[in-house]
Amino acid sequence: MVDLQKLGDREVDERIAVLKEKLGEDLFIPVHHYQRDEIVQFADYTGDSLELSRVSAKTDARFIVFCGVFFMAEIARVLAARDKYVFIPNRDAGCPLADFASLEDVEAVWRVLQEVDAGGYIPVTYANSHAEVKAFCGREGGLVCTSSNVQKIFSWILDRGKRVFFMPDRNLGINTAAAMGMADEFCVVRSEPEKEREEIRGKRIVIWDGFCIVHKRFTMQQVARWRGEDPEVRIVVHPESDPEIVDASDDTGSTSKIKRLVEESPPGSKWVIGTEFNMVQRLKSEHPDKFVEPLEVSVCRNMSSIRRRDLMKTLLAIEDGDYADQVVLPEDQVRDAAAAIEKMLEIS
Ligand code: SF4
């Protein structure tokens, strides 16, 4: 067995390249935009969670090695055909935002919502949630959304005369309600939904009280500092940022939208970006003819926890026919979560 810690980075990279070559079309490596460059260099596809969901569902490869956080590998497991094997090179790469909503807590709030308006709510969970919460949404006739399609999904629910029960990201929920002109029509459920019954009763959108620590680090002081330094910069932030930051910015959008804005802007454009640092750094190096800086350095430690040696270890295990570390979910969870994800893919 190779001692990976004794190998230099370059040797590890060379060996990964050889393993990739060997596994050929049997291997597919989807990589999220927030991953480190040392992982992105081996990507078969780079994207945000929606794009990666789509490509993982369609790949013919037998082995999907998902480089992102655990909920993304779960999505790949749910969508990929049963004869595919899904791996994540570091199983500890979780998502603190997803951890805000356990199935038990979600079901407790759901019971209160049924007392307020039985059959009146459609649950919708952000992709950044655990598979058990996605499965809950599927069971209850609900669906999944991402930051690219959340507004479309909210409209789809409201157009049916139903109310939205959205989890787990408070800021994405509030920013979406505000963008739809519904700033007065939402409430945030905190720890004791029974006590909030009256407030819930009057609202069309009920939002879970979770947040992403990476996007919560952006502040009005940072926005003011950049505006003061150069009034020509355009500030664009991810909608998981606080509503006041979104309001003070020039634009907001998913990671894919942010990427597109920078790519399509003319040389000399100036961008200050409020999202995960690895992605901003990559945009900066890909566009040397533009000014690209982070609003503040904010790294997702979970995304960054996948390292080249983790990837190599996973590929070696696959080469050896050792699939013990694959991502496995209970069959009923797969079925119900698939229903929620497929409904999202149909609508968006
Ligand atoms: S950036 Fe935030 S939402 Fe995304 S994986 Fe990291 S903690 Fe979770």
Residues 138 and 207 in one domain: yes
Ligand 1 atom at minimum distance from 71 CA:
5
Ligand 1 atom 5, closest CA? 95
DSSP collapsed to 3 states, the chain: CCCHHHCCHHHHHHHHHHHHHHHHHHEECEEECCCCHHHHCCCCEEECHHHHHHHHHHCCCCEEECECCHHHHHHHHHHCCCCCEEECCCCCCCCHHHHCCCHHHHHHHHHHHHHHCCCCEEEEEECCCCHHHHHHHHHCCCEEECCCCHHHHHHHHHHCCCEEEEECEHHHHHHHHHHCCCCCCEEEECCCHHHHHHHHHCCCEEEECECCHHHHCCCHHHHHHHHHHCCCCEEEECCCCCHHHHHHCCEECCHHHHHHHHHHCCCCCEEEEECCHHHHHHHHHHCCCCEEEECCCCCCCCHHHCCHHHHHHHHHHHHCCCCCCCCCCCHHHHHHHHHHHHHHHHHC
Is the shortest distance between the CB of 302 and ligand 1 below 6 Å? yes
Residues 109 and 58 in one domain: no
Q: For residue 28, give the nearest of 40, 45, 9, 41 by alpha carbon.
A: 45
Residues 39 and 65 in one domain: yes
Residues 65 and 118 in one domain: no
Residues 280 and 193 in one domain: no
Residues 74 and 137 in one domain: no
Is the shortest distance between the CB of 69 and ligand 1 below 6 Å? yes
pLDDT confidence of residue 30? 97
- Maximal C-alpha separation, the chain: 63
Residues 110 and 199 in one domain: yes
Report the half-sphere exposure of 53 (CA within 13 A, side-chain side): 26
Angstrom distance (rounded) from CA 67 to CA 250: 31
Last residue of a domain, one of 158, 182, 211: 211
Q: What is the pLDDT along the chain (348 residues), one digit of tens a residue?
A: 678 888 999 999 999 999 999 999 999 999 999 999 999 999 999 988 878 878 988 999 999 999 999 999 999 999 999 999 999 999 999 999 999 999 999 999 999 999 999 999 999 999 999 999 999 999 999 999 999 899 999 999 999 999 999 999 999 999 999 999 999 999 999 767 777 888 899 899 999 999 999 999 999 999 999 999 999 999 999 999 999 999 999 999 998 899 999 999 999 999 999 999 999 999 999 999 999 999 999 999 999 999 999 999 999 999 999 999 999 999 999 999 999 999 998 898
Report yes or no on 225 lying in a domain.
yes
Report yes or no on 339 lying in a domain.
no
Is the shortest distance between the CB of 128 and ligand 1 below 6 Å? yes
CB atoms near residue 162 (< 10 Å): 17
Q: Measured in Å, how far apart are the chain's first and last C-alpha atoms?
A: 46
Angstrom distance (rounded) from CA 126 to CA 147: 8
Is the shortest distance between the CB of 94 and ligand 1 below 6 Å? no
Is the shortest distance between the CB of 241 and ligand 1 below 6 Å? no
Polymer length of the chain: 348
Is the shortest distance between the CB of 93 and ligand 1 below 6 Å? no
Last residue of a domain, one of 168, 183, 211: 211
Report yes or no on 338 lying in a domain.
no
**Partner residues linked to 236 by β-bridges:** 251, 273
Q: Angle at Cα 275 formed by Cα 68 and Cα 146, nearest 5°?
A: 60
pLDDT confidence of residue 4? 87
Both tokens assigned to 289: 């003819």
pLDDT confidence of residue 345? 85
Question: Separation of 197 CA from ligand 1 center, angstroms?
Answer: 30
Angstrom distance (rounded) from CA 304 to CA 95: 12
Which of 95, 145, 216, 242 best tests ligand 1's pocket when mutated (most atoms within 8 Å of CB)? Answer: 95
Ligand 1 atom at minimum distance from 69 CA:
5
Question: Which residues are within 8 A (CB) of 190 and not within 5 positions of it... i.e. 6 or more apart?
Answer: 196, 209
**Partner residues linked to 208 by β-bridges:** 189
CB atoms near residue 249 (< 10 Å): 21
Residues 320 and 263 in one domain: no
Question: Separation of 267 CA from ligand 1 center, angstroms?
Answer: 31
Number of domains observed in the structure of the chain: 3
Residues 264 and 323 in one domain: no
Sole residue written with tokens 């500030």: 235
Residue 244 sits in a domain of what CATH number? 3.40.50.10800
Residues 164 and 256 in one domain: no
Peptide bond connecting 168 to the previous residue in cis, omega within 30 degrees of 0: yes
Report yes or no on 340 lying in a domain.
no
Question: Separation of 319 CA from ligand 1 center, angstroms?
Answer: 31
Report yes or no on 323 lying in a domain.
yes
Report yes or no on 341 lying in a domain.
no
Last residue of a domain, one of 163, 181, 211: 211
- State the residue range of the domain holding 11: 4-93+303-328
Residues 251 and 202 in one domain: no
pLDDT confidence of residue 167? 98
Residues 79 and 127 in one domain: no
pLDDT confidence of residue 10? 97
pLDDT confidence of residue 194? 78
Torsion of CA 266, 268, 273, 279, to 10 degrees: 80
Report yes or no on 272 lying in a domain.
yes
